[in-house]
Amino acid sequence: EAGVAQSPRYKIIEKRQSVAFWCNPISGHATLYWYQQILGQGPKLLIQFQNNGVVDDSQLPKDRFSAERLKGVDSTLKIQPAKLEDSAVYLCASSLDWTSGGADTQYFGPGTRLTVL
């Protein structure tokens, strides 16, 4: 079974530029998550989708970040304009169905390491 795919793996941009990340979840997984992870910290949830609907985007800086999952499969996360503090690893994860109960397990993609100069 293929895992969660993400691209690109690395990205270096100047501040105020825009950037987009792509994620393809495990086939059949209804729930998709985008996390931001800063070195030495745990993952911080940015947004959670159930199929093509948003479950939680309370920690998404909506003035600069946006995300979509239009057909309920692939997802993109965009930052526009980027700031220095956005330098982090952006992780995409998917799970079978978060409404199914406590044991629903998240599986992570390899992440995108973003450096903002």
Q: Which residues bind other proteins (CB under 8 A)?
A: 40-45, 56, 91, 98-99, 101-111, 113
CB of 27 to other proteins, least distance (A): 18
CB of 108 to other proteins, least distance (A): 4
- Among 32, 31, 3, smallest CA distance to 109 is for 3
Question: Peptide bond preceding 25: is omega within 30 degrees of 0, i.e. cis?
Answer: no
| Number of other CB atoms surrounding residue 43 within 10 Å | 19
Residue with smaller CB distance to other proteins, 68 or 104:
104
- Helices and strands: H and E segment counts in the chain: 0, 11
Residue with smaller CB distance to other proteins, 17 or 96:
96
Residue with smaller CB distance to other proteins, 65 or 95:
95
CB of 107 to other proteins, least distance (A): 7
CB of 81 to other proteins, least distance (A): 27
